[in-house]
Amino acid sequence: MALAARYADLLCTEGVVRGLIGPREAPRIWDRHLLNCVLMAPALATGQRVADIGSGAGLPGLVLAIARPDVSFTLIEPLLRRTTFLEEVVAELGLDNVTVERGKADAFHGKQSFDVVTARAVSALSNLIAWGMPLVAADGALLVMKGSSAEDEIEGASEALQAWGCAPPDVEEIGDPDAGAVRLVRVRWSGGPRVSLRPQGAGAAKAGARARSKRRQGKRRGDA
């Protein structure tokens, strides 16, 4: 709790001054941000390697790292002023289970893999599948925090799920429903065609799009 309180303090002072969170977020930093993020903590297991993509000022990555010292975290964030803040918080809180990496998620495709990849407020589920799934180990999962739009986003991501060889996602409602819906969308590899459909390397998102386009062409030829 002492570490979480110090992190809340840093978010509400330096975080606001540096424009990493809006000034209106400061009074609701606990209920809207820290307590919201810590709801994911029970979804992690001891010893797992977790990547948080698009960590921003450390949500949910730093909250989870404070709550779960038994899990190691890599925070992936492209913007320098955000990674600078993340590194400063990690040093000040003495978190030895956190590594900060600067870059977009796809820069790490084919280089690192993780048991769990998390994301909150980063992009549509279809993009997160293309950015996050190539980082997910064979028996791992992508865990995305969404609100009431979760089911619609899954429907909108049906092509991406198929192209990347993912199983139909699970949705778990977490926390107190009276405090606003938080839905955890869990995407895993399917046991089926992922080997041929899971492109590797920095061009993975484009390759995923090519895979989808090829499938459509094949379908049209089949229809003709």
Ligand X SMILES: C[S@@+](CC[C@H](N)C(=O)[O-])C[C@H]1O[C@@H](n2cnc3c(N)ncnc32)[C@H](O)[C@@H]1O
CB of 56 to ligand X, least distance (A): 3
CB 101 within 8 A of CB 74: yes
CB of 105 to ligand X, least distance (A): 4
d(CA 31, CA 39): 11
Q: How far is CA 188 from CA 93, 141, 162, 164, 175, in A?
A: 33, 5, 12, 10, 22
CB of 219 to ligand X, least distance (A): 29
CB of 8 to ligand X, least distance (A): 14
Quote the DSSP letter at residue 169. P
Q: Which is nearer to ligand X, 59 or 89 (CB)?
A: 59
Q: Which is nearer to ligand X, 149 or 217 (CB)?
A: 149
Q: Is the dihedral of CA 41, 24, 74, 184 positive or negative?
A: positive
Q: Which is nearer to ligand X, 180 or 191 (CB)?
A: 180
CB of 1 to ligand X, least distance (A): 21
Look at residues 48, 58, 55 and name the one whose alpha carbon lies nearest to residue 6. Answer: 58
**For the chain, what is the largest distance between any 2 Cα atoms, rounded to a whole number of angstroms?**
66
CB atoms within 10 A of CB 34: 22
Quote the DSSP letter at residue 166. B
Q: Which is nearer to ligand X, 88 or 219 (CB)?
A: 88
CB of 132 to ligand X, least distance (A): 9
> Which residues, 6 or more positions from 206, have their beta carbon under 8 angstroms from its beta carbon?
none
Q: Which is nearer to ligand X, 104 or 186 (CB)?
A: 104
Q: Which is nearer to ligand X, 103 or 193 (CB)?
A: 103
119's enclosing H/E stretch is strand 114-120
Residues of this chain that bind ligand X (CB under 6 A): 53-56, 59, 76-79, 82, 104-105, 120-122, 131
